[in-house]
Amino acid sequence: MSSSEIIAVLPLIILFVALVLVMLVIAWRRHHGLTATLTAAVLAGSFACMIAVEDRLPQKVGSLLIVDGYAAFFVCLVLAAAFAVVLLSYPYLQSRNGRHEEYYLLLLIATLGASILVASAHFASFFLGLEILGVSLYALIGYRGGLNGVEAAMKYLVLAAISSAFLLFGMALVYAQAGSLEFAKISERVSGAGITMLLASGLLITGIGFKLAVAPFHMWTPDVYEGAPATVTAFIASVSKGAVFALLFRYFALIDLHAAPTMLTAFSILAALSMIVGNLLALLQTNVKRMLAYSSVAHLGYLLVAFVASGPLRPVAVGYYLAAYFITIVGAFGVIAALSRQGRDVETAAELTGLAWSKPWHAAVLTAMLLSLAGIPLTAGFVGKFYLIAAGIGSDLWTLVLCLLAASAIGLYYYIRVILALFAQPDQEVGPVSAEPSYLSGSVLIGLTFALVFIGVYPAPLIAVIQATASRLMG
């Protein structure tokens, strides 16, 4: 590797070195606060380093990675979300018995895997990043313990293994057709490819569909969201899914999705199914974590509308909506984590009933996050959905746009139902939430709410960054 290549991947090197450092620190002295502080400092340093090397981009690192503006944007998004999750995790875990240092080690490994994923330019690095991310998530999902945690971890393990098998088979067929696993070379050699490439793409879509939890590959989602710790669920819903979607967008931007009508139809069907199935199943939920799980299925469907669109609004819609969704979903699960004590998460609507009277600030934050998920004005979610709809209309995807509007109307009902519960009188049998949230989690939640409203009211700076970073990819 040349010096310029080393500088380009320096943020990833920092994460890798930090893994070894954290392991040595844990072996030397087990201290929850020290490990959490070190992990947060590493993520902040890696983020600052990525900003610092931006003027040296784009830089291709061998045939495996490409660190361009697009990768830098999503790596920063991944690091920022992981940083917020670490800050929320410390008070969340502090109230629980046992040792928690390994949790942060697993979180760093998962963040490294996600960062490799978004910078991948080769199927080898893609699969390596995906497995680094997935293997650490197996342990993180079961970290809470108990039957629900173990069951969730086992379900994720089995389904992730199956999806990896689909991905490997698809990659093998791509190699048989193109003679290469490098994205750029595949795009040069598969123009006009026949049944082999379609079959390969179908297997890849199936494998990635499990990772993204789009319908009909979504059935693991509610059980994993419910069984995993609230902070881990926030990480899965944001970092894990966002990294996979960023990789999917890069691959099919290079392959040119619109040159394959069959593939375009397949993604359109997945988008419609995800929007409809996700929202309808969310209507039936009384458990807030399961409701947000089915809601995430619908939101990935919304993103697929922009994914199958064409034109200059396509990358802006995808980038902005993912950024807004990262903030919103980390904030929503952050409130659940902040209110959870005594080894269990606050999950049911009954437990949240009357929260505005006992914890008004946390009720306000959760309300803002739910309104953003519903796409209400003055939030980032509204601007995100506006760009999704604009991208769909610009590409004459009227059926998908109508599905998006109808699904959003359905989603508004169950979000408002939770918000009304927050401001209702407390349930006499369940009683108000008695946990005393920490100042650290409160500060993080206030920061996320400010970011949510700021980019919702003044989205121009973020949109300008996305346009600049995506121009080379789409060009």
pLDDT of residue 475: 45
Give Cα 261 distance to the centre of its chain: 28
pLDDT of residue 166: 93
The pairing of beta strand 59-61 with beta strand 65-67: antiparallel
What is the residue-wise DSSP string for 56-110? G--EEETTTEEE-HHHHHHHHHHHHHHHHHHHHHHHHHHTSSS--HHHHHHHHHH
Rounded Cα distance between 126 and 113, Å, is: 9
Residue 10 structure tokens: 């320096």
Residue 147 structure tokens: 């039957």
Share of the chain above pLDDT 90, in %: 57
CA torsion 417→423→427→428, rounded to 10°? -160
Q: Per-residue pLDDT averaged across 61-70, rounded?
A: 87
Alpha helices in 193-287 (DSSP H): 195-212, 221-227, 230-235, 241-255, 261-283
pLDDT of residue 433: 56
Q: Per-residue pLDDT averaged across 51-80, rounded?
A: 88
Is residue 193 very low, low, confident or very high in pLDDT (cuts 50, 70, 90)?
low
Give Cα 203 distance to the centre of its chain: 22
Q: Of 72-86, 184-198, 426-440, which has the strongest mean pLDDT?
A: 72-86
pLDDT of residue 62: 81
What are φ and ψ of residue 179, in 5° steps?
A: 75, 15
- Per-residue pLDDT tens over the stretch 136-187: 999 999 887 677 788 889 989 998 899 999 999 999 998 988 888 898 888 7
Q: Is the pTM of this model over 0.75?
A: yes
Kindly list the domain boundaries of the chain, sorted by start residue. Answer: 259-475
Residue 234 pLDDT more than 80? yes
- Per-residue pLDDT tens over the stretch 280-318: 999 988 899 999 999 999 999 999 999 999 888 889 999
Question: What's the angle, vertex CA 465, arms to CA 460 and CA 470, rounded to 5?
Answer: 125
Residue 434 structure tokens: 């008695």
Q: Per-residue pLDDT averaged across 351-375, rounded?
A: 90
pLDDT of residue 277: 94
